Amino acid sequence: MLPTKIVLIGAGSASFGLNTLANLMMSDRLHGSELVLVDKNSEALSLVGQLAEKLNREWGSRMEITTHTDHRTALEGADFVVVSIEVPPREKFWKLDYEIPLKYGVRQPYAENGGPGGFAHAARNIGPLLEIAHDMEDLCPDAWMINFSNPMIRLCDAVNRYSKIKVVGLCHQIYMGYAIAGLLLREDLGIEIEAKFSNTAATISQMDIRRDFARQAFSKIDIVAAGINHFTWILGIYDKSTGEDLYPRFKELWDAYDQNFEPLTRRVYQFFGLLPVAGDEHICEYLPWMSDPITKPWEKYDVMLYEWDLRDAKRKESFILIEKMMEGEVSINTLKDEDSEGAVELIQALAGGGTYYHLAVNLPNLGYIGNIPDQAVVEVPGIINGYGVRGLGIGELPQGVAELCRRELTTAQLCVDAVVHGDRHLAMQSLLLDPVIRDIDVAKQILDNYLETYKELLPQFWH
């Protein structure tokens, strides 16, 4: 099946489009493939298309490259459809998702994947993603969808339950576990990085140092984690060269480390016995103790909000960077340092290029986690080859951890059902099961405000 046809939807994405593109072009196994770039933003698409042609020439990738603003014209005969989409403007809407509940006294901790904001975020993205999936049913029914879009659990669940398309979700958050382990075990592992990072928040200022720790740790240890997206739990830490279990040593160092480092993760680890991978600002969305207006736990644990305005500016800077590459002011070879996020390795393996182990795949649960409902979307290590993507069975999670995951999965599935059917009662059930919500009438006020604000994007709720 190599070479193959790959469709990249959301090719202009500042978060995932550029690094995925670069890694596709660098792959020797994928040379000669057909690469189709899709983005509704014609200006961004044109720029990325020009860059792709330059990479193709200078790196000798021998790919056939086309660009499309409509995914329907791109899908026929595709083997892989890589999706990284957001209903724009991403940062503006995310900020609204956070601010609207504030009017009714609900201060959610982050508003991206859980909480009322997770509902609104999913509601906007489910329709466009299912449209792609249903067009795939007609034009490339055997293709794999590789999804990077958030909220990961809800979007993968929508495709799995409301289409016939095979879907796998990829997320890089597992590497935060490697960064934390590298920081704590630095002397034991011989990691030579002088600086330290102070938290795992998605602040731009500390991204490079965390990435350096993660890369060095990855070369020395294996981490096994499982759960649900942005809420996975470390089950084991092993020395790659000896197989030694390093979890006891990690816990010893963690207990002695700065108590202000990831204080929420610290408390959860203390009482539930496993370390959550994703860091405070992601796990806070799924916990029922993070929105009390009296105790203000977001202050106690110093949970940071997303840098909406700074990220919006950074997104624009990425296109300036592409322009500089086209003009020769910046070398295109700087892209060779970009991480693939796993899409390229999955494509190579699924297309018959061998067997690949991936640290974290989001798949319908087929017994991979024994005490999580079947077909619910879980995140586990996976084995990928020409037969497909298979999760690794990890047994059962501790009962308390499993219950936290099950509650979020039920909330997520009700959200998906509500959005697909335009059902306000199911939407209310989703919000009322969400750990952020404490009052029925407040939940209805938030839902009504969301649906009014996003009325043009969610017409199914207004029939």
240-246: average pLDDT: 97
Distance CA 162, CA 158 (A): 6
Read off the tokens for 36: 């189709």
On whether the CB atoms of residues 191 and 220 are closer than 8 A, the answer is yes
Superfamily of domain 5-172+314-391: AglA-like glucosidase (3.90.1820.10)
Which pLDDT band, with edges at 50, 70 and 90, does 16 fall under?
A: low
Q: Is 391 helix (H, G, I), strand (E, B) or coil?
A: strand
Burial class (CB in 10 A: 0-12, 13-18, 19+), 40: middle
pLDDT of residue 229: 98
Residue 141, burial from CB neighbour count under 10 angstroms (0-12, 13-18, 19+): exposed
Average pLDDT of the segment spanning 154-166? 98
pLDDT computed for residue 14 by the predictor: 59
Per-residue DSSP letter, 384: E
181-191 pLDDT, tens digit per residue, is 999 999 999 99
pLDDT at 203 over 90: no
144 pairs with which residues across the strands?
Answer: 80, 166
Each residue's pLDDT tens digit, 312-351: 777 778 888 888 998 889 999 988 888 888 999 999 999 9
Cα 414 to Cα 428: distance, rounded to the nearest angstrom: 9
Of 231, 253, 181, the residue nearest 210 (C-alpha): 181
**Helical (H) or strand (E) element with 307:** none
φ and ψ at residue 379, rounded to 5 degrees: -115, 120
DSSP characters for 250-298? HHHHHHHS-TTSSHHHHHHHHHHSSEESS-HHHHGGG-TTS--TTT-HH
Per-residue pLDDT tens for 423-460? Answer: 999 999 999 999 999 999 999 999 999 999 999 999 99
Residue 201 structure tokens = 């928040």
With a CB cutoff of 8 Å and minimum separation 6, the contacts of 24 are: 6, 8, 30, 33, 35, 63, 343, 344, 347
The full DSSP string for 174-191 is HHHHHHHHHHHTHHHHT-
pLDDT of residue 71: 97
Whether residue 72 has pLDDT greater than 90: yes
**Residue 384 or residue 3, greater confidence:** 384
Please say whether the beta carbons of 394 and 223 come within 8 A.
no
Domain edges within the chain: 5-172+314-391, 174-300
Residue 412's CB is within 10 A of a number of other CB atoms, namely 30
Work out the percent of the chain whose per-residue pLDDT is above 70: 98
d(CA 177, CA 358): 15
CB 402 within 8 A of CB 438: no
Integer Cα distance of 35 and 345 in angstroms: 16
In 220-237, which positions are buried (b, 16+ CB within 10 angstroms) versus exposed (e)?
bbbbbbbbbbbbbbbbeb
